[in-house]
Amino acid sequence: MTLDELRRVIFGSEPSDWHVIHCWGATSGPSYLDDFGEAAVNGARIEVRAHPERATYRPDVRIGLAWGLTVDERREFDWSQHFSDKRCSPVLADLLWNGSLVDRYSGASVDGGRGVLPMPLGASVETSPTDVEQIGWKVTEAEVSLWCLIDRLKGGESEFDMYLRLAGFTVVRGEER
């Protein structure tokens, strides 16, 4: 299977195609997809962070997802001003093949964790030969497909479309930015 084929399978799948494994809270275990850091509190210690969620693709268990690893401090963005909680947490979503990381997407846990969105790039227009003006934020169709799937995998009613609309992102065709 090629990377493009893997992406097509995942981006075109439905939540019912996935077996979700929660890797946080009571009665759960680790995801085994850890990020190690060092934190100094009264000396050195190891800090372990991990994806709090994993999922296995039911039709082909070689295909997997992991998401929710926080990669930065919560902060506000221009595009998050219309949410009740304006601070967002940058997070990662990893595409897995036979348990190995083969692709990674940046996203944001928004509105106090009530939704997830792709992390946008600034959309700009050339105003002169030497000047570029940012005119908004853009995300790809592929990113929208992935993060919408992840939002729906968390269970409950998805409000992905509402958050995407409130953020004001422009969705561009294709998989690559």
pLDDT (tens place) for every residue of the chain, 177 residues total: 999 999 999 999 999 999 998 876 655 666 556 555 566 566 666 666 677 899 999 999 999 999 998 888 888 988 999 999 999 999 999 999 999 999 999 999 999 989 999 999 876 666 777 776 667 789 999 999 999 999 999 887 899 999 999 999 999 987 665
Q: Is residue 13 part of a domain?
A: yes
> Is residue 164 a part of any domain in this protein?
yes
The pLDDT assigned to 169 comes to 94
Q: What was the pLDDT predicted at 27? A: 58
pLDDT on residue 45: 66
Distances 58 to 5, 12, 15, 64, 113 between C-alpha atoms, Å: 16, 14, 10, 9, 26
Please report the sign of the dihedral spanned by the C-alpha atoms of residue 144, residue 145, residue 149, residue 152: positive
pLDDT at 121: 86
The answer to whether 33 touches 66, Cβ cutoff 8 Å, is yes
Q: Which residues contact 18 (CB under 8 A, 6 or more apart)?
A: 55, 56, 57, 58, 65, 153
b/e burial code for range 1-25 (CB count within 10 A of at least 16 → b): eeeeebbebbbebebebbeeebbee
Q: Is residue 177 part of a domain?
A: no
Residue 64 to residue 116: CA distance in whole angstroms: 19
Residue 42 within a domain: yes
Q: What is the dihedral of CA 166, 168, 173, 177, to 10 degrees?
A: -110
Residue 86 lies in a domain: yes
| Residue-range definition of the domain harbouring residue 165 | 3-172
CB distance 49 to 34 below 8 Å = yes
The count of structural domains within the chain is 1
